[in-house]
Chain A
Amino acid sequence: MPIIVNLDMLLVKRKMSLTELSEKVGVTIANLSILKQNHAKAIRFSTLEAICEALECQPGDILEYESTHKE
């Protein structure tokens, strides 16, 4: 999947644990773990908004596009 979730990097930067984020955002640790490990197929705007608010960042800090086509 060419969309990469940089949640683990942001958590380290903010010195926040997944449990803490889970409590702030209201998403289960299991689901955050799926997101962190790049296994998620989609993310709701409401979830993205809550994560951005909790981590004080922009959606672009969490999501990154990496092209799969080699030039």
Chain B
Amino acid sequence: MEKNTTVVSTSVKILKVILDITWYLSWVGAGLALILIIVALSGVNLDQLQVTIPAAIDFYPENTTSEIPYADRPVISEIEGKARILINPERAFWKVLVCIFLPTIIAAFIWGLKHLRLFFLSIKKGNPFDEENPKRLRKLAYLIMIGGPFTGLGLIFQSLFILDDLSVPAGEIELHPDLFLEYVVGGLIILVIAEVFDAAVRMKKEQDLTI
């Protein structure tokens, strides 16, 4: 029994450290995103810079020495299969990406993490069946269910936007739409767990009010 308590408390401590580090790192990420937005909007000359972004594109090069036809255009980085794109931050598309997609994703991540930390805090305080916890779990579930397909749509959108302008080394290129439906399944599982928590909260309330 004693051993079990120690294991639980250690795992709780480790989880707390992980969540805290993620929380502070996400704020660092938010700060970096803010700097990127300022840079993107301020018109600083970034001609020499290349940034790698993910894309819903599969790329199969003909050979490893394929040369890039137009170096001034967005370039597919030479990854076999799921490709990433090298883009110059001077392009208007980059500004849309930095000013709309990036803040949305970071804000959603911080919002979800905030609820996860509050949920964890209630467990740490010894009150896992807090009335707010099922609501928090539902919020997290909806965030994951919407966030996955939203990211997938964003990648498809950005790939379509960039496809005509893409400088492709000799090889095959395929649009590879992925809506990350596994996230929807993950969200559904969390929704079911939220219902279990809801039932547990009701039972605890009844137990507490039994004299």
Q: Is A39 an interface residue (CB 8 A)?
A: yes
Which residues of B have CB within 8 Å of A44? 210-211
**Distance from B131 Cβ to chain A, minimum over Cβ atoms (Å):** 15
Which residues of A have CB within 8 Å of B209? 34, 39-42
B interface, how many residues as a size bin?
A: under 10
Interface majority SS on B: helix, strand, loop or mixed?
Answer: mixed
Q: Roughly how many angstroms separate A30 CA and B87 CA in the complex, as a whole number?
A: 67
Q: Roughly how many angstroms separate A21 CA and B21 CA in the complex, as a whole number?
A: 52
Which 8 residue pairs of A and B lie closest in terms of their CB atoms, listed nearest first? Answer: A41-B209, A42-B210, A41-B206, A35-B211, A31-B211, A40-B211, A43-B211, A40-B209
A43 (CB) vs chain B CBs: closest residue = B211
Which residues of B have CB within 8 Å of A57? none
B209 (CB) vs chain A CBs: closest residue = A41
A-B contact pairs, 10 of them (CB 8 A): A27-B211, A31-B211, A32-B211, A34-B209, A35-B211, A40-B209, A41-B206, A41-B209, A44-B211, A47-B211
**Distance from B27 Cβ to chain A, minimum over Cβ atoms (Å):** 41
Q: Could you tell me which residues of chain A, from 1 to 45, have a CB within 8 Å of some CB in chain B?
A: 27, 31-32, 34-35, 39-44
B208 (CB) vs chain A CBs: closest residue = A41
Q: Is B205 an interface residue (CB 8 A)?
A: yes
Which residues of A have CB within 8 Å of B206? 41-42
**Distance from B209 Cβ to chain A, minimum over Cβ atoms (Å):** 4
Which residues of A have CB within 8 Å of B211? 27, 31-32, 34-35, 40, 42-44, 47
A28 (CB) vs chain B CBs: closest residue = B211
Q: Roughly how many angstroms separate A43 CA and B211 CA in the complex, as a whole number?
A: 5
Which residues of B have CB within 8 Å of A43? 210-211
Q: Roughly how many angstroms separate A41 CA and B209 CA in the complex, as a whole number?
A: 5
Which residues of B have CB within 8 Å of A41? 205-206, 209-210
Q: Could you tell me which residues of chain B, from 179 to 211, have a CB within 8 Å of some CB in chain A?
A: 205-206, 209-211
A27 (CB) vs chain B CBs: closest residue = B211
Q: Roughly how many angstroms separate A40 CA and B210 CA in the complex, as a whole number?
A: 6
Q: Roughly how many angstroms separate A44 CA and B206 CA in the complex, as a whole number?
A: 12
Which residues of B have CB within 8 Å of A27? 211
